[in-house]
Amino acid sequence: MPAPIRPRRSVLYMPGSNARALEKARGLAADGLILDLEDAVAPNAKEEARTQVCEAVRAGGYGKREILIRTNGLNTPWGHGDLVAAAKAGADGVLIPKVESADAVRQALGILDMAGAPADLYLWCMMETPRAMLRAEEIASASDRIGGLVVGTSDLAKEIQAAHTPQRLPMITSLSLCVLAARAFRLAVLDGVYLDLQDEAGFVHACVQGVELGFDGKTLIHPKQIAAANEAFAPNLDEVAQARKIIAAYEGATREGKGVVVVDGRLIESLHVVEAKHVVNIAEMIDQMAAA
Per the model's pLDDT, the better-predicted residue between 1 and 289 turns out to be 289
Strand partners, 261: 268
Task: Quote the pTM value.
Answer: 0.94
Contact between 260 and 253 (Cβ < 8 Å): yes
- Using alpha carbons only, what angle is made at residue 183 by residues 181 and 188, rounded to the nearest 5 degrees? 100
Residue 254 has pLDDT above 80, yes or no: yes
What angle separates helix 172-184 from helix 200-213, to the nearest 10 degrees?
50
What angle separates helix 79-87 from helix 46-59, to the nearest 10 degrees?
10
Residue 259 has pLDDT above 80, yes or no: no
Q: What is the pLDDT of residues 99-136, one digit of tens each?
A: 999 999 999 999 999 999 999 999 999 999 999 999 99
Backbone angles phi, psi at 251, to 5 degrees: -65, -40
**Average pLDDT of the chain, as a whole number:** 95
Short-list 167, 191, 176, CA closest to 32: 191
Q: State in words which class domain 10-233 has.
A: alpha beta
Alpha-carbon distance of 19 to 113, in angstroms, equals 28
- What pLDDT, on the 0 to 100 scale, is given for residue 1? 67
Q: What is the pLDDT of residues 3-16, one digit of tens each?
A: 889 999 999 999 99
| Torsion sign, CA atoms 154, 155, 161, 167 | negative
Residue 94 has pLDDT above 70, yes or no: yes
Q: For the chain, give the percent of residues with pLDDT over 90.
A: 90
Q: What is the pLDDT of residues 16-39, one digit of tens each?
A: 999 999 999 999 999 999 999 999
Q: What is the pLDDT of residues 217-226, one digit of tens each?
A: 999 999 999 9
Alpha-carbon distance of 260 to 269, in angstroms, equals 8
Domain residue ranges of the chain, discontinuous segments joined by +: 10-233, 237-291
- Lowest average pLDDT, out of 127-131, 146-150, 252-256, 277-281, goes to 252-256
In the chain, alpha helices (H)? 19-24, 46-59, 79-87, 102-114, 130-134, 136-140, 153-159, 172-184, 200-213, 226-233, 237-255, 270-291
Backbone angles phi, psi at 124, to 5 degrees: -110, 150
- What pLDDT, on the 0 to 100 scale, is given for residue 239? 94
- What pLDDT, on the 0 to 100 scale, is given for residue 56? 97
Look up residue 175 and give its DSSP letter: H
Alpha-carbon distance of 171 to 107, in angstroms, equals 28
